[in-house]
Structure 1
Amino acid sequence: MFKFSNNKKETISNNVESTSGQANKSKSYDNEISLLKHNQNSIVNRLDSKIEEASFAAENLISLTNNISQNVEVQMGSIEKVINEINNYSALAEEVFASTENSKQIADQTVEIAKGGSEAVNNSIQAMKDIEEAVEGSKQVVKELSIKASNINQMLAIIKDIANHTNLLSLNASIEAARAGEAGRGFAVVAQEVKNLAQRSAESAGKIAQTIEEINVCIEDTIIAMSKSMSKVVEGTQIANNTVEVFNNIINAVRMTSNVTDDINEAVSKQTNSLEEIITSAENMNTTSEKVMGMVESASLNTQYTKTSLNLLSNVSSDLKVVSHKLLDKIICENKENIELKTYISEAPLTYDPAMAFDQQSAQILYNINTGLLLIGSTGEITPGVAKSWYVEEDNTTWIFNLRKGAKFHNGKEITSEDIKYSYERLLSPALKSPNSWFLDQIEGADDFNKGRTREVSGIRILDRYRISIKLSRPYSGFLLNLGQCVCSILSKEDGQKGKLTGCGPFIMEKFDKDGCVLTAFNEYFGGSPYIDKIVVSYNGAESVKSFLNKECDFITFEDKEKMEELSSAKVSGINLTSVMGTYYAGFNLHSNSIFVKNPSIKKAINYAVNKKKVINELLGGMGEEAKGPFPPNMVSNDYLDGFNYNTKIAKELIGKTPAARTNEKLKILMREDNTTLFNRIAEYLINDLKEIGIECILQRVSSGDYLKPESINKADLFLSRWISDTGDMDNFLQPMFNPSNYTDFTGYNNIDVTEAMDKAKEIINPQKRMQMYKDIQNVIIEDTPWVYLYHPQVGYVAQKGILGLRVSPLGIVRYDDIIVEHK
């Protein structure tokens, strides 16, 4: 701040002091003017850069609008073709309807003819039956004739016997007549005649017998023929019966055909009505497309106007830049002193390698010294980074990125497509074993490269020095957000091959040690040089408020109640709060064999036992919201969830229903060696809450740096951690913690249904369907209970007077290059 004296009394005795005071005022004035000159120059340069980015965006929009216009024209042509085809199909459907009516009439006629044929066959069957009866009667008559013939044979046998006896009597009579002599001569004549008669009778009986024999033969032949006729009649009757069945089948089939025809008629009728509705809808669609075409043309025209306005604005900005520089050159003052600010983060970063970072502290530093192909804005949206523009090809999987020409690394080398390819393949390298390789695993060929099966990622293709193509294995709605993460930062290939990490962010890491780091402004940063020359970051977060109140630091962020109360007690003004897309949780080590981990009911009991509201009020000063599940409510609304509300009665009942829980086993909780951390204080509340329901705890202590390593987590049953969203994308939030292929799945959670659902959800474009999918996934995770769901945090931040531009993004990150010092 600058102070000016209002005391107009001057004496000779204080001339020296007055001269000294004037000198101090002059120096202060020079410092203020030099600071204003610096800020003015930086603002003009950054304004010019932002206008250029807006121009890039307008060009993208123009290109996109033209593509939409072309696609709408194609769509309109397709709709007209569809209408024509539907009309043709409608006419065909009417012909089918008419044909099915004719088929129905023919089927009815066929039924009548088949019925007539069936009646004729029935008559034939009846005639066959009559013939069968007649033949059977004739057969009986013939049999009776055969019997009569047999009787005649018997009678002939008698006649033959009589003739034989008569012949014998005639012989005896002749003998007796001979004895009688002359007296018996007449009797002899009679005897001779009797003999002759007997012979003729015998001869006639023989002939009759022969005739009867012949008749019997004929009778037998007749009977055989009649039997054959009977079998043929029976066979004919069977064939006629089969013919009746065939006719009946024909009738049934024709009737079924008729029924099917009726169904076809009804379906065709409905289809015709539907086609008429489709035609109406298609015509409406065509009309709508024409309106859309008009709107697209209007949007294209307005976009061109925007482009023209941006060009004019760019010209004005260029003129402003020239005039401003000339004006600033006219202002004579001493050279500006370097502006140095001091701040704190809660603890030391785990790494300075962006590919290996997964903690919030590392992200805070890395976001300021590195930059990606794209950037995440202060509100979580995508903005241009090293890429000035980008678009996706028609396959919806191939992205083309156009790089800024002249953008530089901290070593002064220009950023090219080679550096992009190197940085992404380094992140995916099997030798590096990055815990963040999953950020790029949707790129085609990434998995093969990561498993050492190929020497490069097939989906990353250099088109030229300033253009690169990235092809995904399938569409993924959150891909661009992933590219804006610090883990996907672009590093210099030239330095990287020498084992040095050189970024291209707004600040350069000047030095660092276990206590803090110093960041200096990179004046050739493509987004415009930062306002601040140097940022000194201390890792001793416990001292942040004390240092701020003593004016030893310039701005701080905080998350706990004590810091809020300390600042409020000191009547510090300008305290701000912002909700962060994050969650604090106590994770179960699902590899543990403890009853507290293996039994689902006990895990739920532990959730009910923890008084989350008390933690939020007493530890955070209300800077948080009770967690009902893993998702923060500003990402996925939790209104539909019941959650595990604090209820010791339910907790005890759940444990009481589990006899195995009534043992002397104790719950092992992993603790950090530094007792001042928020995590340890939360753990103390949790331990006391569990004691209330009969669960005793023992502590396993490790250093903060080793806390989240697998070998540390495996020493315990429960550990405390947090997750802050990298992108604001739901898939990006869940995958690290609940996909077993990711290093950051610290609990060891593995539910194949959840993994498959997450893979499907990332491809869904419809926002409502996508949101519902993630709600369903969250329900499954809550039921599985891999965590004790604690709270979703809010972050407080405050700056000394004269410092502007301090903001905390929903991801919990402060961009140091946005901070301006108005006066010191």
Structure 2
Amino acid sequence: MKKLSVWVIVLTFVLGAVLAGCNSNNNTTDNGNTPAGNNKEQAKEEKTAEAEAKIVMYNNTREPTSLDPPIGFDQVSYDVVNNAFEGLTRLGKDQKPEAAMAKDWTIAADGLKYTFNLRDGIKWSNGDPVTAADFEFAWKRLLDPATASDAAFLAYPIQGAEAFNSGKGAADGVMIKAVNEKTLEVTLAQPASWLINMVASPAFFPVHKATVEGNAAWAGEAATIVSNGPFTIKEWAHDSELKMVKNDQYWDAANVKLDGLTFKMVNDANTAYQLYSTGELHTTGSIPADLSDQLFAEKKVTVEESAGVAFYRFNVTKEPFKNANIRKAFVAAVDRQQLVDLVLKQKQKPAVAFVSPGLIEPSGKDFREVGGDLIKFDAAEAKTLLDKGMKEAGYTTLPEVTLTYNTNDVSQRVAQALQAMFKDNLGVDVKLANKESKVLSDEQKKLQLQLSRSSFLPDFADPINFLDGFQSTNPFSRTGWVNAAYDKLIKDAYNEPDEPKRFQMLHDAEKILMDEAPVLPLYFYNTVYMQTEKLEGVVRHPFGFIDFKWTDLKS
């Protein structure tokens, strides 16, 4: 009995060891703690969940300049910022401003005092409450000369704003005041009928004070960005893609249908089209020129009204563009109709002035229609103006001219087309140079370039937004151009309560701008894109930026 018992015990241990060995080899991970089958199942579930998630793939063309609201003053930056942050108002589906962080507001009878009442329960993505003090801090930071924001001039209607931004006043003199956590008071120096529309612009979005003050580079990486909009930034592979996820702290999260967004940075139209064709993009605005006619004919491209203008800036502090007639000669030498028809091929309208169509006057007419065509293509006139300008400047030979454009295939084609037009219509050999957008912008600001590519997209629907940037003190100008009469007209327009008189001042200002020619308008923007039928509710604002808040992705 004892001997038999021993063998039973031995066999029991051996069998247990074998079974344990089988379990060790097949059902546990290397560290023996988690079942491998569970691990595989979890990975499979995660992969399935990721595939089923509503993630919109969108081509934003290139790396944002900055995701700091007062700094990233361009479309590729603000298209991201507009979905990660939110202001007191937000442009709605109907393009009109609606309540956002502010639940409502009141305007004093004289149009000078605005009182915004914030919603209850609004939060930052880290859970902190969004308060009126966040807006006071952000708006004064926008105006702080140390911030050096190109968008600061937008806030000049606020009392004390221009003085502070120009170094002639203090922050305390800016009439933006958080009365309490839920109330923001703003006092204007003069009525600004566009203010409610304007504060929907990313330049006026709040920023999280502790984050901004605790880290000067806070807006440079996904991990350090605290936002308050429909989406938050999860990952940012610079110059490649930026991933956003739904912000569960957002006050209106119940109406956000997407799980997230991926902003691709593909700066070549052909590559973007291929990604769209293979389903790696749900929508793209990059239409290859060589396929444009076919895609339009097949009705695969959508065209919508938009606003803004593509143009070149002359540096009037550098030869030969110190002379106005030489600048006007270059303006007259450009066949804009040929440019949009044969080079761009995306149904744009040739620019006939600086302010684009779509802005309605008090009379109900379009500002552009009333203002008429202020520039035109005329090769003979261009040559006459060049000869006249060269005599005035004392040139027997025109100094060398370099046209600088930002690095992408569309800007390159436009630059090459203009180079050919200047040769054919003026007999001038123009050199071309390309630079990355950030470098080009920096060199423009320092007045280091002769003739360089630019664009303007309006922040709100009023012609003053197009024109005030060329005041001699405005950092947006980047031309070195100074005209006292122009400056006075813009200043007077800001102070004029009579709307018909104000619009006439703006027409007069635009005529001076075109006659002095510190800029060379090329074409007015439209919105052209391809989009999968699965994608619904993308809002592309003519006077604003793309918005995915109401977007849905059907299966």
**Cα deviation code 1:477-519 (max 9, x no counterpart):** 2222221110111122233332244221111011212212001
Shift of 1:703: 2.6
Give the aligned partner of residue 460 of structure 1: 176
Shift of 1:806: 2.4
Give the partner amino acid of 2:249.
E
Shift of 1:608: 1.5
Give the partner amino acid of 2:243.
V
User: Structure 1 CA distance, aligned partners of 2:170 and 2:113?
Assistant: 20
Give the aligned partner of residue 10 of structure 2: none
Give the partner amino acid of 1:607.
V
**Cα deviation code 1:308-355 (max 9, x no counterpart):** xxxxxxxxxxxxxxxxxxxxxxxxxx9994222211012221111111
Shift of 1:448: 4.7
Match of 1:606, SS state, is helix
User: Structure 1 CA distance, aligned partners of 2:52 and 2:243?
Assistant: 17
Q: State the TM-score, normalized to the length of structure 1.
A: 0.56
User: Structure 1 CA distance, aligned partners of 2:313 and 2:395?
Assistant: 19
Match of 1:356, SS state, is coil
1:515 to 221, 227, 240: 240
2:264 to 538, 561, 565: 538
Match of 2:239, SS state, is coil
Assess if the C-alpha contact under 8 Å between 1:670 and 1:720 holds in 2: yes
Task: Mark the CA change 1:459 to 1:807 in structure 2 (over 3 Å): closer, same or farther.
Answer: closer
2:411 to 679, 702, 717: 679
* 1:749 has 2:481 as partner: yes
Shift of 1:533: 0.6
Match of 1:518, SS state, is strand
Shift of 1:467: 1.0
* 1:475 has 2:198 as partner: no
Shift of 1:551: 1.4
Question: Within 5 A, what are the aligned runs for 1:417-496?
Answer: 417-450=132-165, 451=167, 453-454=169-170, 456-496=172-212
1:698 to 431, 452, 460: 431
Question: Within 5 A, what are the aligned runs for 1:194-343?
Answer: 337-343=52-58
**Which is bigger in relative contact order (C-alpha 8 A, separation at least 6)?**
2
Task: Mark the CA change 1:399 to 1:641 in structure 2 (over 3 Å): closer, same or farther.
Answer: same
User: Structure 1 CA distance, aligned partners of 2:261 and 2:101?
Assistant: 23
Shift of 1:812: 5.9
Give the aligned partner of residue 626 of structure 1: 350
Identity %: 21
* 1:797 has 2:525 as partner: no
Assess if the C-alpha contact under 8 Å between 1:478 and 1:732 holds in 2: no
Assess if the C-alpha contact under 8 Å between 1:379 and 1:810 holds in 2: no
User: Structure 1 CA distance, aligned partners of 2:291 and 2:509?
Assistant: 36
* 1:354 has 2:65 as partner: no
* 1:591 has 2:320 as partner: no
Give the partner amino acid of 2:267.
G
Q: Which has the higher strand share?
A: 2
Give the partner amino acid of 2:263.
V
Give the aligned partner of residue 516 of structure 2: 784
User: Structure 2 CA distance, aligned partners of 1:798 and 1:335?
Assistant: 24
User: Structure 1 CA distance, aligned partners of 2:446 and 2:185?
Assistant: 40
Task: Mark the CA change 1:661 to 1:681 in structure 2 (over 3 Å): closer, same or farther.
Answer: farther
**Aligned residues, how many?**
484
Give the partner amino acid of 1:671.
Y
Assess if the C-alpha contact under 8 Å between 1:560 and 1:623 holds in 2: no
User: Structure 1 CA distance, aligned partners of 2:92 and 2:342?
Assistant: 33
**Cα deviation code 1:598-631 (max 9, x no counterpart):** 2222222211211111110112215211111110
Task: Mark the CA change 1:777 to 1:335 in structure 2 (over 3 Å): closer, same or farther.
Answer: closer
Task: Mark the CA change 1:628 to 1:535 in structure 2 (over 3 Å): closer, same or farther.
Answer: same
Match of 2:70, SS state, is helix
Shift of 1:564: 3.4
User: Structure 1 CA distance, aligned partners of 2:119 and 2:523?
Assistant: 42
* 1:397 has 2:90 as partner: no
RMSD: 2.4
Gaps of 5+ in 2: 1-44, 219-224, 360-366
Question: Within 5 A, what are the aligned runs for 1:809-820?
Answer: 809-811=541-543, 813-820=545-552
Give the aligned partner of residue 18 of structure 2: none
Shift of 1:712: 7.5
User: Structure 2 CA distance, aligned partners of 1:590 and 1:484?
Assistant: 34
User: Structure 1 CA distance, aligned partners of 2:287 and 2:158?
Assistant: 37
Q: State the TM-score, normalized to the length of structure 2.
A: 0.82
Match of 2:214, SS state, is coil
**Cα deviation code 1:258-301 (max 9, x no counterpart):** xxxxxxxxxxxxxxxxxxxxxxxxxxxxxxxxxxxxxxxxxxxx
Match of 1:508, SS state, is strand
Shift of 1:383: 1.2
Q: Which has the higher helix share?
A: 1
User: Structure 1 CA distance, aligned partners of 2:308 and 2:147?
Assistant: 28
Instruction: From the CA coordinates, give the structure whose radius of gyration is larger.
Output: 1
User: Structure 2 CA distance, aligned partners of 1:742 and 1:582?
Assistant: 19
